[in-house]
Structure 1
């Protein structure tokens, strides 16, 4: 409770808890707002967030295209879609496939489609190094289908190489998942600097949609101190939604299902639904 204010409850970020309303149904779909999920540090919950945010937005009636832009192909596996012997984002980047609709796969979850990726994507940077306007290839691919969707989520690989620059150049906004751990915090400044360079040189429209604290454990002083430091540094750019640490996430990944379907009543599923509502309330998604 805040001193002198009855009934005001503080959330993990130290700010008063906001109840984000259930979003109203959309009357039509598109054009999509494009959001890159990026962090050059691996293991921070980036793909987990891409999967479960996509599923949560789809639950609220938004048409979602999730693009697996990581050679590990974890997003594809986590949504139960094939990533081998099918067209992937790699063929689209190289231009061997021209129409992105050939690579789009409908998932088992309504309103949620995926463009998969596999290890072949790791060769893309080498093949594209001499291409003209190589930083804008992904933007041109997405432009062909943006009118069919309300939101496009790009799950970036954990690096700041050419693929990530492509994702940032294509995006309207960036969502940064940040593990509540000290070494994860150190790299965010470098990522923000990269976003500013892309904004200055390639994509003036890009903005930081927010920083999402992940793997939070309220029982540990370290988690609480890191979260406090993040809020002190980035202020309102930090989402009020905080994603806790739970074994349900790897269990859901093995099952090839978002946690919102695998364990729909679990608090982690509720947290991602809240993130979807918060993004809609912020105007980052229609």
Structure 2
């Protein structure tokens, strides 16, 4: 019996109040931090997948089930294509398939991914090949209190295909060794995928496909302090074969303990 879909809303108030008078007010005194009334924890699933991986569609199905159970806005997935099944066979020249990226492959090396599908849930518990652990870890992580609030905004210039991203990070507590990661993903890509029965499906729809890292591929240091905010700005030019209407920016803050919070926002405001 399916668990009813839980609705988690992100309700946050971060107000900046200025009072004008005849008396000169110091600039720092004009910014008043107001703690958000409620912030829900979102869970990041990093799905290490490949187009020649026959069992990888099962992982995609698991992600869909988790999103149905907890709410699509609360389970944020990123499909990282690469590894052995991200290339043609040796007989075919062992060339990268269309969704494989160099940066994605670097994550396979970094995290020691040996099999596909494999995944990480909020980078908690390391790489997991057993999909049942994905569900168990998701259930545990989504009930945690978030330590940071992330507010990303996007501005896309169609003429130049340039995307500008502004990320505001507000500390709900002080974190040690925090890093900020900003990724670009794309949904609804029709491309080849091997299926569990061994067949080759050229009409398969790939979702949440990792396209690029907008900041450093391993994240950048960020100073997260309770009741203080940090603002970051980025810019990236989209490749000609990427469809901006299907793209999103995934932003998350992580520490050695795992991913503290994740947000997803569309490239084109809808």
Normalising by structure 1, what TM-score? Answer: 0.21
More strand per residue: 2
Normalising by structure 2, what TM-score? Answer: 0.22
Greater relative CO (CA pairs within 8 A, separation 6+): 1
Which of structures 1 and 2 has the bigger CA Rg? 2
